[in-house]
Amino acid sequence: MKLYPLMVKMARRRMRPIWRFIDDGPAEASYNMALDEAIARTVLRGEAPPTLRLYTWALPSVSMGCFQRVRDIDTSYCNANEIPLVRRPTGGRAILHDMELTYSFSAREAGPFSSGGVLGTYAALSRALSRALKALGIDVQVKSRRERGRVLARSALCFQSVSYGELSVDNRKVVGSAQKRWKEGFLQQGSIQLRVDTGKVAAVFRDVDGGGIGTLMTGLMDVKPALSVDELRLAIRAAFEETFEVRLASLEPSAGERDLALRLQEEKYRSPEWTFSR
C-alpha cells in the first residue's frame, strides 16, 4: 500500500478550515427555533465557525415563516391534535415538521459566502444537499429558476411549489428552505422530508388542495424505503465537507448558546405576541 499519497491527503484534510457540526436529536419546537437563532448570533459575532446543525422534533409541529399570516393555518385542528405552532426567524411559508430531518446552517459573509447574496447562498447549500442525496442514490434535481409573484403567493404550504435552489425528485419537492439575513451573515433553515402524511398536511393548512399534495411533495423514504436517518446524516456531513473543502468537527452548542436559547425560547418563541403577530 502506498502510504505517502494517503498521508498527504490526510495532511491536506487536517489543514482544511474547521467548521462546526451539531448532530442533535428531537427537541420542542420553540427550543429548536431558539437554539438556531442563538447559534446564528454566536456565529455572526465571530465567536464560532460556520455551523451546520441537524435535528428533529419532539412532536409533529408547524413552523410559520417570519412574515406569514396565522390564518393560513388551521389552529383549531392543531390545538385539538396537540400540534405546536411556532414562528421561525427565517422567512418563507409554513411547514409541517413530522417525519423529517431538519437542518440549519449559520455563517458570516466570508469565505465561500463572501458574495452572491441570498441566491448565492441558496445555490451553494443546495449543491451540498444535492450531493448528499445523489451519494445515497437519489436522483434529485435543483431548481435553477427563481419564481415570482402569484406562483409563490398562492399557497400557505412551503412544499406546494419549488423555489430557487430547492430540491425535488420526479418534480415533487423533498427539501424546502428559508433564510434570515443580517449585515454580518445569514441563517438558513431547511426541512428534508422523509415521509409525507398527505391527510395531516391537508388538515393543517387552509386553502391547500389535499388531493394534489402527493403530486407536489414526497419524502426520501417514499422514494428509497431502505434509507435510514443515520445514513442521511452521514451523507449530509460528508457532502458539506466535500462541497466547501472543510472539516466538520462534532461539537455541542456552548453553554452561552444554550443559555441564550432558553431565554429566547421563553421571551420570543413561546410568546403569543411573536407567534400570533401576523
Sign for the pseudo-dihedral over CA of 55, 58, 59, 61 = negative
Active-site residue among 52, 107, 158, 217? 158
Catalytic site residue 158?
yes
What residues are labeled active site? 158
